[in-house]
Amino acid sequence: MNYRDFLQKVIYVIINPVIKAMIKIGITPNMVTLIGFIGNILATGFFIEAAWMQGMGDTISVHTQTTNGISNDTYAYSMTLIGWGGFIILASGLFDMMDGRLARMSGKSSLFGALWDSTLDRYSELVSLFGICLVFILTGMGEWFWIGVTTFAAMTGSVMVSYVRARAEGLDIECKVGLMQRPERVVVTAVSAIITGITGNLWWLASGMILIAVLANITAFWRIAHCYREMNKK
């Protein structure tokens, strides 16, 4: 049993009572998927607000104590927003696990539900990373601009990891290999944002984005190589 299967079993033990309660009151898997998506939209709003606060550097007095070109109070508030955004992403990630589990336990699995889940997952990830990208872009030029570019690379890698798997499964090839699948990306994004909120150090979030950018794109090409090997076996 690998670490992902072990963690999944532990989480299922925790959430199964909640899922049973959802079944009793008539909550459907598609409703849970939508709630998780709305949570990610809310987190993106926190990131965009933080980005706007980071971009206020040219509106303050020259006598004001500053961090990254904005007042210390404004900077601290923007870091708090980022931390709350990370917490909401983590909570929304639990809903992302619940919808599939709820579908299986309630006997309401459907092809549309699978499509709905995959589609909203992509939207959720892209909008949240877009919000984080804005944070770095609006923080200023220099290294933060390039961290923003790196976050865009993380967005690209995240999409390609999912796309290669979907395309492979369309060709009847199982393709779940790699180091940075969606659960790992959600955890890295959420935890790095939460630590940023606690410490007030934006480099924590930057480190998370660098990690995703590198490992997600490696995972995408890893999956391509895996598919190539599987095709040559046939």
Give the tokens for residue 49: 């607000």
User: What are the sequence ranges of the domains in the chain?
Assistant: 3-233
Dihedrals phi, psi of 5, to nearest 5 degrees? -65, -40
Per-residue pLDDT at 15 exceeds 90: no
- Per-residue pLDDT of 49-92, as tens digits, reads 999 888 765 444 444 445 555 677 888 899 999 999 999 999 99
Per-residue pLDDT at 101 exceeds 90: no
Q: How far is CA 221 from CA 41, 163, 214, 229, in A?
A: 29, 11, 11, 12
CB 68 within 8 A of CB 139: yes
Quick one: DSSP state of residue 234?
-
- Per-residue pLDDT of 214-225, as tens digits, reads 999 999 999 999
Considering the entire predicted model, what is its pTM?
A: 0.87
CATH architecture of 3-233: Up-down Bundle (1.20)
| First-residue to last-residue Cα distance in the chain | 28
Separation of alpha carbons 164 and 184, rounded Å: 17
Round the average pLDDT of the chain to a whole number and report it. 88
- Per-residue pLDDT of 136-194, as tens digits, reads 998 876 888 999 999 999 999 999 999 999 999 988 998 888 888 888 999 999 999 99
**pLDDT, mean of residues 7-19:** 80
Give the tokens for residue 15: 């959430």
User: Long-range contacts for 6-12 (Cβ within 8 Å, ≥24 apart)?
Assistant: 8/97, 11/94, 11/97, 12/101
Residue 67's H or E segment, with its range, is strand 66-67
C-alpha closest to that of 40 among 148, 132, 164: 132
The DSSP secondary structure of 181-225, one letter per residue, reads -HHHHHHHHHHHHHHHHHH--HHHHHHHHHHHHHHHHHHHHHHHH
